[in-house]
Amino acid sequence: MLPERKFIERIRRMSAGIGNPALLRGIGDDCAIARPAAGQELLVTTDLSIEGVHFRREWHPPRSVGHRCLARGLSDIAAMGGQPVACFLSLGIPGSLPQPWAEGFMRGLLALAGQFKVPLAGGDTSSSDKIIADIVVLGQAPSGSAVLRNGARPGDIIFVTGELGGSAAALKGLYAGKKLPAAARHRHFFPVPRLDIGRWLRQRKIPSAMIDLSDGLSVDLAHICRESNVVAVIDATAVPVARGASLELAMHGGEDYELLFTAAKKTKLPTRIMGISITPIGEIQAASSRRRGIQIRDETGRIWPLQLAGWEHFRKN
């Protein structure tokens, strides 16, 4: 690795081409300075990526690790219907890490940053035993308009963008030592945060609640149910399962980075937005002392309580 100072100067040069009008001052002072556009509120999210937990050097190319690191943060901004303003990266890397790995990581991260006009505005670096990358993304949305998790109401329809389970299916393949088809690899290695769709939906005031699918449909929908104090009933046959995945992976697999949202029953929605499918997968019902969390309606019409089985990092150790 380059010495810390040189590496920081290298990052500063690599990221110099990306700007955003809401960022007044980026790398180079004690703090970055941002000012949301008039009438906008600021959104903030942080996501930690750790070698051996969120990625493996033997499976994930460095560009993918950098891309996925930022995609996680951008996906949170998408879930509020926001627009990204800037990102910050805290990076811990082993002294023995080959320089090309660190370069590849930064290239992957900055390629995605360039695509969505998200300047790298600061961060921190340190040595560490394993690679760790904490990404902070600032975004903005018109005051009072950001879409929260707590607005789902009984009678609302539950929608998802795209197909689910593809990333988990690819991960399963990597675990089993399989060579993956290019499309499956790409879906897992370079997920696209649904920023444009999130904003499209928010501008039309369509979602009553929204979240991104990072931990898995079962876990993330449970967040909406808990924050909105409602119950969800999912139609097993309606869930859009990605090619190569199963209903099990679509329900519980993480890292699809699609959007999950609820909308009033009368809402007219196209079947595709910007080329991505929009699929109704169930409905919101009132919570009661007998009915909590998520239920699933199978192909015979019977309704079962869903067992939670999403990704909880602590549990895996």
Would you tell me which residues interact with its own copies (CB under 8 A)? 1, 3-5, 7, 24-25, 28-36, 41-48, 50, 52-54, 76-77, 79-80, 82, 86, 88, 90-92, 94-95, 121-130, 132, 134, 136, 138-139, 143, 146, 148-150, 210-212, 227, 312-317
Give the CA distances from residue 118 to residues 4, 23, 107, in Å, rounded to whole numbers and listed in that order: 23, 9, 14
Is 61 or 94 the residue whose CB approaches its own copies more closely? 94
Is 7 or 245 the residue whose CB approaches its own copies more closely? 7
Q: Identity (one letter) of the amino acid at 22? A: A
Is 122 or 166 the residue whose CB approaches its own copies more closely? 122
> Residue 89 CB, nearest distance to its own copies (Å)?
8
CA distance 111 to 234: 37
> Residue 297 CB, nearest distance to its own copies (Å)?
26
> Residue 135 CB, nearest distance to its own copies (Å)?
9
Is 46 or 237 the residue whose CB approaches its own copies more closely? 46
Q: Where are the beta strands (DSSP E) in 143-254?
A: 157-161, 209-212, 230-235
Is 86 or 250 the residue whose CB approaches its own copies more closely? 86
Half-sphere exposure of 212 (CA within 13 A, CB side): 25
> Residue 213 CB, nearest distance to its own copies (Å)?
11
The pair of structure tokens assigned to 49 is 């990526």
Judge contact between 49 and 135, C-beta under 8 A.
Answer: yes
Is 12 or 243 the residue whose CB approaches its own copies more closely? 12
- Residue 17 DSSP code: T
> Residue 218 CB, nearest distance to its own copies (Å)?
13
Q: What is the DSSP string of 107-146?
A: HHHHHHHHHTT--EEEEEEEE-SS-EEEEEEEEEEETT--
> Residue 34 CB, nearest distance to its own copies (Å)?
5
CA distance 312 to 306: 17
> Residue 83 CB, nearest distance to its own copies (Å)?
12
**Residue 16's CB: how many other CB atoms inside 10 A?**
12
Give the CA distances from residue 314 to residues 53, 94, 311, 317, in Å, rounded to whole numbers and listed in that order: 10, 23, 9, 6
> Residue 32 CB, nearest distance to its own copies (Å)?
5
Is 124 or 248 the residue whose CB approaches its own copies more closely? 124
Instruction: For residue 72, give the 3-state DSSP assignment.
Output: helix
Point out which residues pair with 230 in neighbouring strands.
286
Is 40 or 279 the residue whose CB approaches its own copies more closely? 40
Q: What angle do CA 35, 38, 43 make, to 5 degrees?
A: 55
Point out which residues pair with 160 in neighbouring strands.
260, 279
Is 38 or 176 the residue whose CB approaches its own copies more closely? 38
> Residue 249 CB, nearest distance to its own copies (Å)?
21
